[in-house]
């Protein structure tokens, strides 16, 4: 739901002006506001070097509410933030905010503030401040105010003038605003702030929707897109055929996807494996690399097999390519597993914990989401009219798609570097050269106009080269070499993960950030871009956060057990442990500078 919330907030920002009057938030000439902001202090006069408390006073009109420091998963809202502007040398420290209340927000249970609420903070003047003067404290409140129908972002400023005296002077008129504890006590972070997940598990309906949307998004992933692209080209070619035949192609393609998801999902449920477990096999990844290479060379025009660009076997032409459509569905599923798209992580995380029937339903919905674009085009061939007409562009498009597959071959080789080391890795790369040569020999000499003897020899040589490549390059089973040492990457030092080390660091009062990742997880690699952000690096340094990497590229039962304990069924998983807090901060599947900053700011200042 995080992505829904971001999209929703963006739409609100664009439409805010037009709807403001209807929402009663900023009607021209109207003095009444949905929420007002003021700044109050427990002292009339502050003393040099002595801390005191202030509070941001929010007064909500009836039926309006704002939110706390964090938003629970699945809730449409925006955290309330306080941004302080103070004289030089003055500091503001966070304190525990009042407990939130529960209410309905767009049909979902949410927590926030209604009525009148005071958000406290501790202010400390420098010891060198001159007695007898006055200073102005300023704060900007950045949040979202909603009623039961609509929301609008708001930013409001409040200020307060405080005099400086040799001895602090209390303001009895605001005494009831603050807790009875001492103003000098260490600031605390509210208990609820260490959770970004909702305490209650999502509904099964939400999981079903997430599964379908996650499968739909997989279509734009670089491994899957060539398959979908070629199938769209085939729809263009078939546009003039019998509609029933076109629909049949869509149904067979969908069946191929569903069959694959049923097999993989069944293994996940029956064996207790994590999603994408097959990618932890070096042999499977080598097979994928070889297949992508062959498929790419076929699309590039080095050789042809049958009439269908995604078919196998000469008999596909007589079957109108139906076998090719089924094969395309199988292929789309196999190549999609490295990409745990948004929405898919939540569904997969709970799928492994659900009864078998419900889990298989979720896997089926992921498959239907993946198949839906092609199935839609098949069911409504008139939609093809918006696409370019058949022509020479189709061959160019097919050849262009081959480069995405060659890129995938390189990616699979990179994955293999974490599984195969030394000389065997060289054999893997040389094996792919032999396989490519086999394709070239077949395409060069096994042509219809060549003599029969030449074609037979070409097939024999091609098979020999192909077999030699597979035998030479098949990765051996290698003994694990341990987790290695500290890696400096993206401006941060990453320690190898271990459960014992995490407990030791937390006991020593150090926050720990864990990146559960795998080389074959494409989303994991995309996420890593945020770590290079200078602001985030400064926050990691400021809070002395220890960064750890739990590498799930190879099968690691302890890593799997660790992220499953967090309610996740597949990588990527990103989590922040804060000392003294029983619950960790779980971040969304897709990382951003904003959600990372929000999480790191939950760490109490030292």
β-bridge mates for residue 517, sequence order: 551
pLDDT confidence of residue 352: 67
**Alpha-carbon span 4 to 210, nearest angstrom:** 11
pLDDT confidence of residue 268: 78
β-bridge mates for residue 135, sequence order: 162
CB neighbour burial string for 1-14, b if at least 16 within 10 angstroms, e if fewer: bbeebbebeeebee
pLDDT confidence of residue 105: 64
Report the sign of the C-alpha dihedral through residues 588, 594, 596, 598, in that order: negative
**Alpha-carbon span 43 to 248, nearest angstrom:** 78
What global pTM score does this model have? 0.50
**Alpha-carbon span 121 to 100, nearest angstrom:** 17
Q: Which CATH class is domain 2-194?
A: mainly beta
pLDDT confidence of residue 543: 92
Q: Which residue has the tokens 């720990």?
A: 512
Strands 573-577, 487-489: pairing kind: unpaired
Contacts (Cβ under 8 Å, ≥6 apart) of 173: none
pLDDT confidence of residue 545: 95
Q: Which CATH number fits domain 487-600: 3.90.1150.10, 3.90.550.10, 3.20.20.140, 3.40.30.10?
A: 3.40.30.10
pLDDT confidence of residue 37: 93
The torsion region of residue 519 among left (phi > 0), alpha (psi -120 to 50) and beta comes to alpha
Residue-wise DSSP of 452-488: HHHHHHHHHHHHHHHHHHHHHHPPPP-------S-EE
- Is the preceding peptide bond at 579 cis, omega within 30 degrees of 0? no
**For residue 11, what is the enclosing H or E element?**
helix 2-23
pLDDT confidence of residue 30: 40
pLDDT confidence of residue 106: 61
For Cα atoms 5, 7, 11, give the angle at the middle one, nearest 5 degrees: 115
pLDDT confidence of residue 138: 93
The rounded average pLDDT for each run of 10 residues, N- to C-terminus, in the chain (606 residues) is 41 38 38 82 89 92 86 71 89 86 71 90 88 90 82 86 88 65 36 42 81 85 70 66 77 90 83 73 86 85 57 36 78 72 67 79 90 84 69 78 84 85 84 93 85 89 91 76 69 90 92 92 86 91 93 87 83 92 87 90 84
User: In degrees rounded to 5, what are phi and psi of residue 32?
Assistant: -70, 130
């Amino acid at each position: 739901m995080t992505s829904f919330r971001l999209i929703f907030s963006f739409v609100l920002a664009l439409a805010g002006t037009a709807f403001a009057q209807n929402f009663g938030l900023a009607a021209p000439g109207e003095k009444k506001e949905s929420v007002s902001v003021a700044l109050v202090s427990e002292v009339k006069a502050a003393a040099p070097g002595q801390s005191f408390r202030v509070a941001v006073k929010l007064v909500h009109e009836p039926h309006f509410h704002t939110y706390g420091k964090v938003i629970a998963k699945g809730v449409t809202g925006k955290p309330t933030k306080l941004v302080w502007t103070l004289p030089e040398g003055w500091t503001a420290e966070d304190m525990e905010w009042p407990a939130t209340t529960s209410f309905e927000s767009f049909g979902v249970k949410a927590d926030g503030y209604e009525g009148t609420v005071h958000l406290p903070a501790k202010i400390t003047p420098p010891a060198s401040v001159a007695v007898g003067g006055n200073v102005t404290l300023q704060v900007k409140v950045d949040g979202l105010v909603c009623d039961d129908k609509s929301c609008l972002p708001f930013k409001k400023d409040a200020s307060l003038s405080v005099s400086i005296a040799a001895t602090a002077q209390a303001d009895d008129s605001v005494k009831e605003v603050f807790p009875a504890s001492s103003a000098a006590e260490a600031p605390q972070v509210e208990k609820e702030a260490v959770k970004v997940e909702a305490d209650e598990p999502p509904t099964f309906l939400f999981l079903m929707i997430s599964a379908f949307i996650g499968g739909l998004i997989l279509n734009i992933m670089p491994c899957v897109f060539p398959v979908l692209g070629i199938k769209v080209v085939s729809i263009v070619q078939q546009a003039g055929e019998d509609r029933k035949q076109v629909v049949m192609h869509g149904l067979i393609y969908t069946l191929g996807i569903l069959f694959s998801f049923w097999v993989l999902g069944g293994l996940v449920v029956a064996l207790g494996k994590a999603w994408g477990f097959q990618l932890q096999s070096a042999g499977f990844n080598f097979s994928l690399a070889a297949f992508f290479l062959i498929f790419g060379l076929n699309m590039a025009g080095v050789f042809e097999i049958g009439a269908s660009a995604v078919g196998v076997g000469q008999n596909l032409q007589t079957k109108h390519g139906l076998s090719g459509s089924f094969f395309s569905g199988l292929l789309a599923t196999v190549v999609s597993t490295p990409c745990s798209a948004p929405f898919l992580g939540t569904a997969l995380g709970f799928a492994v914990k659900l009864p078998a029937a419900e889990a298989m339903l979720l896997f089926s919905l992921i498959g239907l989401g993946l198949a839906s674009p092609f199935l839609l085009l098949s069911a409504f061939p008139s939609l093809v009219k918006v696409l370019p007409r058949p022509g020479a562009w189709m061959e160019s498009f097919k050849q262009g798609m081959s480069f995405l597959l060659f890129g995938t071959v390189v990616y699979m080789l990179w994955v293999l570097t974490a599984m195969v080391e030394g000389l065997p890795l060289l054999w893997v790369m040389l094996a792919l050269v032999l396989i490519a040569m086999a394709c070239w020999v077949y395409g060069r000499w096994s042509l219809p106009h060549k003599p029969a003897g030449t074609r037979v020899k070409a097939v024999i040589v091609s098979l020999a080269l192909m077999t030699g490549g597979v035998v030479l390059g098949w990765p051996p089973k290698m003994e694990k070499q341990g987790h290695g040492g500290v890696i400096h990457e993206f401006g941060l030092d990453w320690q190898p993960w271990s459960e014992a080390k995490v407990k030791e660091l937390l006991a020593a009062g150090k926050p720990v950030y864990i990146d559960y990742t795998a080389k074959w997880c494409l989303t994991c690699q995309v996420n890593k871009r945020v770590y290079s952000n200078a602001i985030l690096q400064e926050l990691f340094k400021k809070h002395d956060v220890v960064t750890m990497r739990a590498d799930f590229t190879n099968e690691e039962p302890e890593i799997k057990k660790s992220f499953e304990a967090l309610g996740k069924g597949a990588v990527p998983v990103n989590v922040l442990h804060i000392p003294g807090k029983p619950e960790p901060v779980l971040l969304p599947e897709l990382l951003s500078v904003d959600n990372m900053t929000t999480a790191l700011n939950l760490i109490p200042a030292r």
